[in-house]
Amino acid sequence: MRRYKLLWFLLPGFILYAVFQLFPICSAFYYSITNWDGLTPSYAYVGFENYKRLASDIVFHTALINNLKFMVVVVLLQSGMSLLFALYLVKHTKTNVVLRALYFFPTILSSVSVAFIWLFMYDPSIGLVSKILRQNWLGDKEFAIYAVALVQVWFHTGQMIVIFVSGLQAVPAELHEVATLEGANRWQRFRWVTWPLIAPAAAIVVSYTILQSFKAFDLIFAMTRGGPNYGTEILSTYIYASAFQNYSFGYASALSVVFMLVVALVTLLQFQILRVNRVHY
């Protein structure tokens, strides 16, 4: 009987989860089989027509490919750079503490502020990046998505450094001493001592970075609004355009459902690759 009374303590959390998570998800599934325009109270059921439309929607295919490109670049660069910096900043010295704070600083800025800073940097007339590289990255359909990905990396690398530093500081120093006495060089100590013990931290970094790459709506919308010519269009910006610019809420709901499935699939694949559940201390 006491066990059932304890369930009442879960009720407030479940209500919040149901209102702000379950209900919107169920609503997305419901409206995805309608032609609701988001304005009028009436709508008709169209079955799976919205999902069939996705198969021939060129913009949707472009947005999906751009999202995957953006994710790969951000995950590789952000995870790699944050780990590299963390290895050099792991010692608790005054200089390292200052550098950690300096690298972490961009994370506390808003996405719109970061977007405006880098819009100035990428400006083809007076931007420092454009002058050095002599190329209008945001104006080039082929390179624009990579230019925005670099901004995302600059924006969040400092946050990931903190996670890696925490993981590295938890590695017992005795293990490195023993490996050194056994004749292991720096790379071997990292490969066989450090990496297995910071694998859980790496899993957190990669997981969070993947989710960030799919939630980059505000940064991309503020910088390019999906342009030029859909060069930086990703799934979240296309959902916004479908719902609030084209007033096709039914189709936008179908896009949202597919978006959820893509994120779930990528997350499952990531956990299988990293094999988080097989890491042993």
263-277 pLDDT, tens digit each: 989 888 887 776 654
Calpha distance 142→231 (Å, rounded): 7
Domain-located, residue 12? no
| 190-195, long-range: CB < 8 A, 24+ apart | 190/87, 194/168
Kindly report the CA angle at 191 between 164 and 72, in degrees rounded to 5?
55
Total length of the chain: 281
Q: What are the backbone angles phi and psi of residue 194, rounded to the nearest 5°?
A: -70, -50
74-112 pLDDT, tens digit each: 999 999 999 999 999 998 889 999 999 999 999 999 999
Print burial letters for 93-132: b (CB count within 10 Å at least 16), e (below 16).
eeeeeebbeebbebeeeebeebbeebeebbeeeebebbee
Domain that holds residue 248: 21-278
Residue 224 exposure: Cα atoms within 13 Å on the Cβ side: 30
Domain-located, residue 7? no
Domain-located, residue 8? no
Domain-located, residue 193? yes
Domain-located, residue 10? no
Q: How far is CA 241 from the centre of its chain?
A: 20
pLDDT at 246: 92
pLDDT at 1: 63
Lowest mean pLDDT among 96-110, 129-143, 223-237: 129-143
Average pLDDT, stretch 129-158?
91
Angle between helix 58-89 and helix 195-214 axes, rounded to 10 deg: 140
Average pLDDT, stretch 28-36?
95
Banded pLDDT at 134 (limits 50, 70, 90):
confident
Domain-located, residue 6? no
- 71 has pLDDT over 60: yes
Domain-located, residue 166? yes
- Mean pLDDT computed over every residue of the chain: 90
Domain-located, residue 41? yes
DSSP category for residue 105 = G
pLDDT at 281: 47
Calpha distance 79→205 (Å, rounded): 7
- What global pTM score does this model have? 0.89
Return the CATH number at 265.
Answer: 1.10.3720.10
CB of 219 closer than 8 Å to CB of 115: yes
Q: How many domains does the chain have?
A: 1
